[in-house]
Structures are given as C-alpha cells and as structure tokens.
Structure 1
Amino acid sequence: MTLSVSTGQSVDLRVQSVDEILDRVARSLRVRLLLDTVVRKRRSVGARTDRGTWVRIERRPLDKITDQGWNGTECAARLEGVAQPVWQGCVVWRDADGPVMWRADETGLLSAAPVGSAVLSEAPELPEAWWEDLSTSLDALAAHRTRRVATPDTDTITQELVTESIRGVFPGDFDTTVRRWVPAHADLNWANVTAPVFSLFDWEDWGNAPQGLDSASLWASSLAVPALADRVRRERRRDFESRDGKLMTLFVCAKILGPYAHPEDPRLEPARRTAEQVVEELQTG
C-alpha cells in the first residue's frame, strides 16, 4: 500500500506497492503508463507511456534534497554535446504522510537498451563508435559550467567527503586536495548507459565533482571483467593519469573495500591491487 512507501523510513520500491503512485503520476502528466513495461529499482520506478515516452519516478527523503533541489534531469536538458534522452516535463509533490518527496520526469525513449546491471559479470559487445561517443559526451559534459554540486549515492560530494572516504580506507602520506572540479554525471555505471547506440540517462545526481569521477565510477562498475576495466582506463586515460583522477580511483575503491565490503564481491582483489599502486604513485609523485 502507499503508506508503506510514504514514511521517512528506508524503503525498497522493488518490493513495496506503488500502484497509487503510478496512478497519480499518470493523472498528473495526462498519460497512460504501460504497466507491462514497469522497471522497479530500490528508490525509483520507470515505465513507458502510450505516447512513446518514458517516465521515471523517484522517492527521496527531504534530508537527501539539498539547497540546489533535485531537478537534475530537468537541468541536464541544457547540456549540449551529451547523448541523452530529451526531457519533456515533470511533476513533483511532497508526500502527505511523511518527510518524503516524489518526482516524476518524462523523457524521450532511450536510443537503445541499457547495457546491464550496475556491476557487470561479463563483457558487453560494444562497437568502436560506442567508445567514441562515450568520450565525446564525457568531454562535452566536463566543458560545461554549472553551480550544481554532484550527489553520488545522494551524498553531496565535497572536499571533506573525498578526504574522509579515502583516509578511512587508505592511510598514507599523500595529499587528498582536489585541484579541478568539473561537471559530472555522478552515477555512471552500466545500468545507466545504452548500447549499441550510446546514451546516458538518470541525471538526478549530476553536478560539479572532481575530475575523473565518472571515468573512475565506470571503471569500478567494470572490475569483475578485467578486459572491460582495462578498456575503460585506456579510453579515459587522461582522467586516470591526472592527479584528481587518481584520487577518484581511490574514492571509488574505498566504496568497494570499505566497511560495507561484501566478501564475495569479485571486484575486491582488483580494486585492492589498483589502490595500492595509486597510493604509491601519489606518495612519490
């Protein structure tokens, strides 16, 4: 029932009823949602519509909505040179039963299917043009200017967060100060890109972040497939070889190796090896 997803408690929309939420969105946007296309994730639900668009609905507690708001998909519509679905409109409301906001964004359909889950276990077949379009889009994004601040995993990324995350897992005599902040998608993984035609979606968390965050995030999403992870590093070499890119490599490795590490995560060992190498480079560089 709706009450089960409207309180401030942690919820999982994959298992809890969202029927009334879907009905409200359909009425507000004056569209019919095709229920046989519904995709449910932990904090969001999406579906195709009868007018050839896609609607993504997200639930977010008020304390996870920063001063900049949470209209990332809407704000990303102005980003030129970045392959993404066209934004159409939205509806936003506060839940009457708890400190929670709901937001539904309507966009054009994806140009192709999502590549897979956030963490891949086998390599996808990606044409050369896909890799070219990935880099073109990331470079175009980084060249933009914004006052937004990225919120990876809904946490606002700051110098303090970067330092605490890295120091909490990788002690050592090296500086964690970020030198260059640029616009980033901030949730770049294999569940948020399409293939064989490249497109990047789910823009709710984008904003300024240390250079290399997106490249490092996609690399971390690829670590269970060594050849794929190596390809990401080659394609985005400029990011990974930069000092900030090395810090972001440690930042994403800290999430894999930190206190919430899963003992059966196949990314543990490659993340550990890479982190040791990067720490050494930062200490001697």
Structure 2
Amino acid sequence: MYSPPPDPDTEQRMRAHHAHTAKALDVQVEPGAEFWGWAGRTLGAPAHTATGMPAWLRLVSAPEDKAAGKLWDGALDAQHAFGDLDGHRPALLAVHDVVDDGTAYRAELSVRVDEPVLSDDPVLQHDPQLPDSWWNDLAGVLEKVAAVDTDRVAVRQQYMERAIPEFVGIPAPTVSCWTTAHADVHWANLIAPLRLLDWEGWGRAPEGYDSATLYAYSLLQPDTAARVRAVFPVLGSPAGLAAEATVCAQLLQTVSRGDNLTLADPLRGWSEELRCRQSA
C-alpha cells in the first residue's frame, strides 16, 4: 500500500471518481479505509453491496489513449477465463468505465477477502508455516491456470533473448512448453486459506514460470524455498530451465535498478546454478 499521491489534484480527482463509481454501482464504501496504489494510479476501499455482501471497490485510471491492453483488461479477462477458481480467486462482480477530461477510469467491484496477505512485502521475510493442504491447493490452482487457453502474453520471447544473456550469462534456453501463468505469484498476493490476488498481468509464459517466481521471492527463507521446489518439481528440471532463467533475469534486472536489493546475493547464486545446468 502506498501513501496518497503528492499531487493534491490527483488525490481529489481519484476520490471524487471513486465516490461517483460507488453511487453508480449502488455500493456503500466503508468510511476511513482507503488503499492507494503507486502514484495515485489506483484507489481501493472496502465496501458493501446493496444486499450487504462485503466487496472491494478498486478504481484505476490512465490517459484515455492508454486505457487498453493486457494490464487494463487483466481482471476482467481473468473473470471470463477462470471465474473464482473454486473460491481461490476473488470473483469480479461488476465493472464500470468512465472517461472524463482525457482520463479513463475503470472501477472493478470484487468479492472482498478479509484475511491478510501472507506478507506485506513480495519478498518473504519469515516462515509462513503453511499446512500441506495450502500447498496442495496452490499447486492445483496453478495447474488449472496453466491449462487455460489464451492469446494474452505475460513473457515475450524477445525479452528472454535479450535479458537472460545479459543478467544470467547464458543464451536464452529453448522453451519446451508455453503455458498460461498468473505471472505475479509472490507472497504479497497470497492469502491463507488460499486466495490468489492481482490478476492484471496474466498470460502465456514458459512452463514453470509461476513456481519459479514464488521460488525467487522465497530465497531469503531457505526452508520455504525448498518447499516450493518440492511442491513444483518442474523447478530444477530441463523443462523448467527457461522459466527459471527468465525470472532470475527479471529480478536481477530490478536489482540493477536499485530494487529488491536483499535478493541480490541469492539471485546471483541462483544464476550460477542455472549456468551450470545450461552447460551440463
């Protein structure tokens, strides 16, 4: 969660449109609770529908000419493709679109999840001590996601061919199988009992991409990282090499920009392992 945007005009504009959307969708927003996204791009708050159902009202804004594409339509596309994944994905109840003075606004009303995320940070800082049933549920959900057909793209071959040699030091491995991925499986998007949040960026990726992402964000907790590998045996296999190298490159790229610095050394160790596997 971020602070309100430093620009008071943006803050006022987003709050006004959030209130207008709540009225249009006939929901009552709970007072005193709001959650801002980066630079005021999104504003979310708990709410109740007219029938009393707990809900979450999220407003996202973008310049009108950029209000399209994978991220803009991710939640709506996910609802059409996956539904609520047997209760493991908060269902999208309604969408409301408005354009005002060159800015597009999309409101997404979803089923509210009151349990906290497992980590405030995508990088796991503690042992979550999750039961076997949680891990089994996660494996089942990601298997169902992987089987869905889509033309959405989460990882591009061109990116792999550029980034993996630069940040991992090997040629981009051949992708033996492309599957559908949530594409942002980290600990700040996971809840127990299992719910998987934030479906903006889902799409096609190398097999094992989601489990490789979770592994990367678990590297500071060796026991949990080992559990990820045990639950997802594609990691460490020839079939998973492309996904692992992609995720490793992506996060090493963020390190080069000054982010995820706590992962720098574990990621470099992982990249060394990947180089050894490539040359074996």
1:194 pairs with one of 186, 191, 196: 191
Q: Determine the C-alpha separation between the residues in 2 that align with 1:161 and 1:37.
A: 39
Go from structure 1 to structure 2 and tell me whether the alpha carbon gap of 1:193 and 1:68 turns closer, same or farther (over 3 Å shift): closer
Residue 262 in 1 paired to residue 265 in 2?
A: no
Amino acid at match of 1:131: W
Instruction: Tell me if structure 1 keeps the 8 A contact 2:251–2:260.
Output: no
Superposition map of 1:130-145 within 5 A: 130-145=134-149
* Corresponding pairs, count: 262
Instruction: Tell me if structure 1 keeps the 8 A contact 2:75–2:199.
Output: yes
Gap runs ≥5 in structure 2: none
Deviation at 1:165, TM superposition (A): 1.6
1:58 pairs with one of 57, 60, 66: 60
Residue 89 in 1 paired to residue 94 in 2?
A: yes
Superposition map of 1:12-161 within 5 A: 14-16=4-6, 17=11, 18-42=14-38, 43-51=41-49, 52-60=54-62, 67=69, 70-77=72-79, 78-79=81-82, 81=85, 83-97=88-102, 100-110=103-113, 112-116=115-119, 117-150=121-154, 157-161=155-159
Deviation at 1:127, TM superposition (A): 1.8
Instruction: Tell me if structure 1 keeps the 8 A contact 2:61–2:106.
Output: yes
Amino acid at match of 1:15: P
Instruction: Tell me if structure 1 keeps the 8 A contact 2:22–2:57.
Output: no
Amino acid at match of 2:91: V
Q: Determine the C-alpha separation between the residues in 1 that align with 2:139 and 2:118.
A: 17
Go from structure 1 to structure 2 and tell me whether the alpha carbon gap of 1:14 and 1:210 turns closer, same or farther (over 3 Å shift): farther
RMSD between aligned alpha carbons?
A: 2.5
Instruction: Tell me if structure 2 keeps the 8 A contact 1:212–1:245.
Output: yes
Instruction: Tell me if structure 1 keeps the 8 A contact 2:215–2:228.
Output: yes
Aligned to 1:167: 165
Instruction: Tell me if structure 2 keeps the 8 A contact 1:134–1:198.
Output: yes
Aligned to 1:6: none
Instruction: Tell me if structure 1 keeps the 8 A contact 2:98–2:104.
Output: yes
Go from structure 1 to structure 2 and tell me whether the alpha carbon gap of 1:66 and 1:182 turns closer, same or farther (over 3 Å shift): farther
| C-alpha distance after superposition, 1:134-193 (max 9, x if no partner) | 00100111111112222xxxxxx2100112121221233x44332311111111111111
Q: Determine the C-alpha separation between the residues in 2 that align with 1:55 and 1:127.
A: 31
Q: Determine the C-alpha separation between the residues in 1 that align with 2:132 and 2:219.
A: 20
Go from structure 1 to structure 2 and tell me whether the alpha carbon gap of 1:256 and 1:75 turns closer, same or farther (over 3 Å shift): closer
Which has the larger helix fraction? 2
Could you tell me the TM-score, scaled by structure 2's length?
0.83
Amino acid at match of 1:71: D
| C-alpha distance after superposition, 1:15-74 (max 9, x if no partner) | 341322322321332212224332223143321112211122223456766656732212
Deviation at 1:211, TM superposition (A): 1.1
1:224 pairs with one of 206, 210, 220: 220
Q: Determine the C-alpha separation between the residues in 1 that align with 2:263 and 2:19.
A: 40
Gap runs ≥5 in structure 1: 1-11, 151-156
Could you tell me the TM-score, scaled by structure 1's length?
0.82
